[in-house]
Amino acid sequence: MIKVVFAIERLPKRQRQQQLAGAIDENPFITDDELMRTFQVSIQTIRLDRMELGIPELRERIKLMAEQSYDQVRSLPLHEVIGDVIDLQLDKTGISMFEIKDEHVFSRTKIARGHHVFSQANSLAVALINDPIALTAAADIRFVRPVKLGEKCIAKAYVRSITKGKAKVEVFTYVGEEVVFQGNFIIYHSAKERTEGGEPDADSD
């Protein structure tokens, strides 16, 4: 108990709240439990800090970000996008989150069925394209490690190039800091005119 008190006193409240706000801004997917371990305070302290800073809980943050991004999607209806699209810059980059639940795993192993992980990445790649008609023409994929029940998959997509009728999109899916899936997609689209673009130098770590 004394050890916890010392840990709390080590960082003044104002400084802790500034760092907490910065941590959430840098990683909107960070949980209260992770913040609790980072700042070595109780879960109640983290929740009070968030309330005082006007920062909603994780579920509400994701909902707000998803609502803002969904308005931009042109190539897919909402129910066909797998996961929550958190950030979307059409023809450039996108991020989505997909939590692995009971219906996504094999009952015996509690490991996610591969097509769910693939579908998250594939639908994000298609959603990135600023065109009402966009279809996956080819995909080169690699499952780096199995994804388990309860894990949150964060997919990050980058349009590497886009020309008339074709776009190349690279997607990395993470659990925490670990890459669990990688895919290179060729997306056909209906746009008659397109200039070379994309994010060839985007960070793929």
Average pLDDT over residues 163-184: 95
Can you give the pLDDT at residue 34?
87
If asked whether residues 76 and 174 sit together in one domain, one would say: yes
If asked whether residues 116 and 176 sit together in one domain, one would say: yes
Residue 88 sits in a domain whose CATH number is 3.10.129.10
Beta bridge partners of 161: 168
Domain contains 10: yes
* Parent domain of 125: 61-189
If asked whether residues 27 and 88 sit together in one domain, one would say: no
Domain contains 196: no
Can you give the pLDDT at residue 185?
97
Domain contains 107: yes
Average pLDDT over residues 15-34: 87
Can you give the pLDDT at residue 87?
84
If asked whether residues 99 and 69 sit together in one domain, one would say: yes
Q: Mean of the per-residue pLDDT values for the chain?
A: 84
pTM, two decimals, is: 0.69
Q: Which of 27-31, 52-56, 148-152, 173-177 has the lowest mean pLDDT?
A: 27-31
If asked whether residues 31 and 127 sit together in one domain, one would say: no
Q: Report how far apart the first and last C-alpha atoms of the chain are (Å, whole number).
A: 39
